[in-house]
Amino acid sequence: MQRVKHIDLGLIDYKEAWDFQETLFQGVIDVKRANRALEKEGSTHVVQTQSSLIFCEHPHVFTLGKSGHLSHLLVNEEQLAAKGARFYKINRGGDITYHGPGQLVVYPIFDLDHFFTDIHKYLRYLEESVIRTLAEYGILSGRIKGSTGVWLDWNNPKARKICALGVRSSRWVTMHGFAFNVNSDLNYFSNIIPCGITDKAVTSLQKELGRAIDMSEVQEKIKTHLAVLFEMELIV
């Protein structure tokens, strides 16, 4: 069973969290490169990589993935400033999305060589942790073929997204992750075309249940499901 470091960053500026991710991500890759060099030299002494699981929230921010279109941001710089929001082009997959207070953001920095080398399976496990958490609140959720993330009423015209995914992977090391709308201010999504999808809505756990939800409670549920799915032990 893999021992994975649990890191809770609380409410943190997006760029600061991104830089922190990059440091951990590059650190794991550097260890893997060094191990590969040692193996080529015939050495049996290798260093164990350390996977991490980061939880946080961000101040209002819009991020655009590598395959996204800037036209999906519907406000200019002045309007962004007026809304107290920032904008970044980033190095994950996917299109544009929103992060803000009340949204649980999870960044796994995993060395998949110690889990399984299958990005499709990795994404489905991230989604599954949210699906199982929603079930604990009595909410049935699922997937839409061709659209990553977690959806409610996914099989009819009332489909609405409650969790978005966007990841980066190199040498089977992951970064970025998923954003789960718990108590999110959904008005901010009207400033973008979320994930480039024009015909479906977004929602939050708060909106579906009609009450605010304790963020630490949701985080514990996500942690538990991820630990089971990835067969890992979370350490501090």
Which residues belong to the active site? 195
Residue 17 makes CB contacts below 8 A (sequence gap 6+) with 9, 54, 56, 58, 105, 107
Query: What is the residue whose two structure tokens read 């954003």?
Result: 179
The token duo for 95 is 């299109």
SS3 breakdown of the chain: % helix, strand, coil, rounded to 5? 35, 30, 35
The token duo for 190 is 């009207």
For residue 75, the SS3 value is coil
The token duo for 56 is 């946080």
The token duo for 63 is 């991020």
Pairing of strands 61-64, 86-89: parallel
